[in-house]
Amino acid sequence: MTRVERIVLGIFAGLLIVSFLMLLRQFYVQNTTNVAVRGGTYIEGSVGEVQPINPWFITGNDVNRDIVSLIFSGLQKYDPETGTVIDDLARLNVSRDNRVYTATLKPNLEWHDSMPEHPHPVTADDVIFTFKTIQNPEFPNPILKQNFQGIEIEKIDNQTVRFRLSKPYSFFSSNLTLGLLPAASFEGVPVKKLDQTLDFGFHPIGAGPYSFVSLQQTDLSTEVTVKRFDRYRLPEYKIDRMVLRVFPDYSALLTDITNLNGVRLAPRNEKGLPILPRHFRPMSYTLPQYVALFFNLDHPIVADRGVRLGLQLATNKQEIADSIHETQIVDTPLMEIDTGDWRYRFDSNAAKGAFFESSWNVPEKIRLQRLLEQRETNAVGPLAGTPRIALLGTGGILTITGSTKNLALPVSVNGIRVQTGTRLPDGTIKTLSGSWIVRLKTGNGGSGTLRVGNNLVQMTNAKDDVIDTAYLERITAAKIFSRASEEQSLLGKFVLSKTLPENDPGIVTVQDLYLENGYLRRKLATDPPHTRVDDKGRKLSLTILTSTVPASYKDVAAVLKKQWEDVGVNVTVDIPESKKEFEEKLLGRNYDILLFGQALFDNLDSYPYWHSSQIQDRSGKSQNMKLDAFNLSQYTSFDADAELVRIRETSNEKSRETALSELNEQLKKDIPAIVLYSPLYVYGGDQSVHGIQRGKFALHADRFAMADRWYVSTKRQFLPGKGWRSFPGWFFGLVLFR
């Protein structure tokens, strides 16, 4: 072969090899699929503070709750896919009366520090230790302690524990989702110092899907690293390692976001959009939580249901939600029922009517009512000729005349005997039958003297019995007299308006009037609303207490202040600078209205928030204050209590639904709070993380309850019935049928 022939042959041979390899690749791609495999690392960023990692002490710290959910497991767990509590480390058997719960541990469970030469199995003793410790009077978490009060805990055998309740409680299985702790790690530690066990808190040992590796402090964040822990016959987790990086603020987090695979609670911009790189997939969700305005029913003003109704009707929830970019408006604290069914809607005119029914009126209304009464009084009787207003300087004299018809003389007006006759131009009085006249002075005192301001003019007979009464306002300044004259003119138009058609442009209503410097005038669009007052002259002034965290509460309070002031309510917003000061006011119920959020968790039990047993002590003594007094409205209702107990104790779903409906109607009627919205949260995961799903989350940490479906490593695997031996058939099929 010549050199050229060899080159051509080489080229064709190369093309043949390349074509064959391309065919092999096409065959491989068409007959395989990507499958998840073990391996890889997931790095997530969040904002907060890492505290000692212990399931007993995670109240109020969602960052720690995330870490705890990976390291620890409970007898039961919440399943976000179904929204129910299911078995985890134990199989649970519940008696028909919901009073006896028997937990049997699954076989071959081990603590993370278990080794072949030193096995450390999970036993009933650990279960007894975890829950009986909580019942100890010295246990330093009173809120958690409340969940296990009055419960008898008994070890049946090395794998079985029985919980016996004094009365039925259908939500008790939720309490068993608490992460178990190893008794061996706390030997010799006094119960009252369990919250100070830093050695365990920063090197925790659990029985969850991931074991603790390290806790490190970097320049930007605190890093908690966990690794997969293989558990016998329990769900297999595929991601080898998870690194939870906790930053002090979002600014620090965003500077390192390129090194993260996920962001817990992604921040949002001024438009409400999540601040995430493009390769991140945002997942929005809500929890069984609500933000509400809790009325302190121990305070007289808001104890008036009419006031509460007026405030509810004056609350534009849509405007509030829009101002902070929330989407889930909520009307009831009972998150299980249809949130679209609510009796009251935003209606400012109806709100004004509710305040009026409760005798809280705008000053214009009160002034108008008084003027109408005075006008009616002055319109009849012997003193009907008395002017309502008069411009009289010092030394001036007001002459009043009237008819003597049906009048038994002698009579006096403000102590001055009237004369019969008519005053002539020269000042003399010409006696005529059928008329009377009296001259009232404006001097420095004495009988008949008219004072500056309102005067009560009275006509009396010889026995000093009052025959008639009239009202007269003495004014000394022309400018003020002009205002008073305008007011009297508007009063006449208001009275005349009652006889005019509804669409007549001359109609004057109370909404068209404005009180300024003591007199009514036409209202202008720029006039600020006045604060309502009651019959005793007290102003309708209320204080809203809220916290600095989250920052959106401040914005909500500002919108509420504007909405309520538009209907005549004076609002003061109290936002204590320190957490301690806020908590002191919260515990002491030092507020008229509290803007705050409540969470129902996985069992949706409303008992702690609305039952009368959960109100704060009313003595005002600090030593009597209860940390677990979650009834923030100080709401007491026999009917509501009965339904709350019924919901807790029944295992019949129909009975439960009926009780929820009845409770909802009672809360509608009583209005102990105005529920506003359920906060929207956003989780962000980048494209390298697969299997992340949205569920019925009860807590932020519930995203990790579905982490057994997450994976970051994949490999290609032949489809069923396929393999390299299938290549010839695939190839000939490709050639013959193309």
What's the mean pLDDT when you consider all of the chain?
A: 91
- CA 31, distance to chain mean position in Å, is 54
Q: Going by DSSP bridges, is the β-strand pair 100-105/160-164 parallel, antiparallel, or unpaired?
A: antiparallel
User: Would you call the peptide bond into 140 cis, given omega within 30 degrees of 0 as the criterion?
Assistant: no
For 373-432, write each residue's pLDDT tens digit: 999 999 999 999 899 999 998 888 999 988 888 888 889 999 999 988 666 665 555 655
Q: Is 300 helix (H, G, I), strand (E, B) or coil?
A: helix
450 in the same domain as 352: no
Residue 634 lies in a domain: yes
For 528-542, write each residue's pLDDT tens digit: 989 999 988 899 999
- Phi then psi for 215, rounded to 5 degrees? -130, 115
- pLDDT score for 199: 93
674 in the same domain as 539: yes
Residue 289 makes CB contacts below 8 A (sequence gap 6+) with: 597, 598, 599, 600, 678, 679
What is the Cα–Cα distance from 119 to 116, expressed in whole angstroms? 6
Q: Supply the pTM of this predicted model.
A: 0.84
Residue 225 lies in a domain: no
The stretch 691-700 carries a mean pLDDT of: 92
382 in the same domain as 336: no
213-217, 362-366, 614-618: range with highest mean pLDDT:
213-217
Residue 260 CB neighbours (<10 A): 24
CATH code where residue 474 lies: 2.60.40
In whole angstroms, how large is the CA radius of gyration of the chain?
Answer: 40
For 92-133, write each residue's pLDDT tens digit: 999 988 899 999 999 999 999 999 999 999 999 999 999 999
301 in the same domain as 335: yes
For 337-384, write each residue's pLDDT tens digit: 765 555 568 899 899 889 988 899 999 999 999 999 999 999 999 999
- pLDDT score for 594: 98
Measured CA to CA in angstroms, residue 616 lies from 303, 584, 594 at distances of 16, 12, 14
CATH code where residue 117 lies: 3.90.76.10
Residue 355 lies in a domain: yes
What is the Cα–Cα distance from 500 to 591, expressed in whole angstroms? 47
Q: Is 11 helix (H, G, I), strand (E, B) or coil?
A: helix
- CA 385, distance to chain mean position in Å, is 60
| Residue 196 DSSP label | G
84 in the same domain as 24: no
- pLDDT of 236 above 70: yes
473 in the same domain as 352: no
390 in the same domain as 315: no
What is the Cα–Cα distance from 44 to 318, expressed in whole angstroms? 34
417 in the same domain as 336: no
Residue 134 CB neighbours (<10 A): 22
573 in the same domain as 666: yes
- pLDDT of 28 above 80: no
- pLDDT of 556 above 80: yes
Measured CA to CA in angstroms, residue 343 lies from 220, 313, 331, 664 at distances of 50, 10, 9, 11
Residue 94 lies in a domain: yes
What is the Cα–Cα distance from 277 to 9, expressed in whole angstroms? 52
Q: Strands of 287-407 (E only): list them.
A: 289-295, 328-329, 389-391, 397-403
Residue 443 lies in a domain: yes
- pLDDT score for 427: 54
Residue 408 lies in a domain: yes
End residue of a domain, out of 480, 496, 512: 496
674 in the same domain as 546: yes
- CA 497, distance to chain mean position in Å, is 45
What is the Cα–Cα distance from 738 to 736, expressed in whole angstroms? 6
- HSE toward the beta carbon, residue 296, CA cutoff 13 A: 23
CA angle 676, 677, 681 (to 5 degrees): 155
**What is the extent of the structural domain holding 136?**
73-207
180 in the same domain as 100: yes
- pLDDT score for 737: 67
Residue 61 lies in a domain: no
- pLDDT score for 423: 62
389 in the same domain as 358: no
End residue of a domain, out of 146, 180, 207: 207
Residue 492 lies in a domain: yes
What is the Cα–Cα distance from 305 to 662, expressed in whole angstroms? 19
Confidence class for position 736, pLDDT limits 50, 70, 90: confident
Number of separate domains in the chain: 4
Contact call for residues 459 and 413 (beta carbons, < 8 A): yes
- pLDDT score for 142: 87
- pLDDT of 9 above 90: no
- pLDDT score for 425: 64
What is the Cα–Cα distance from 330 to 340, expressed in whole angstroms? 8
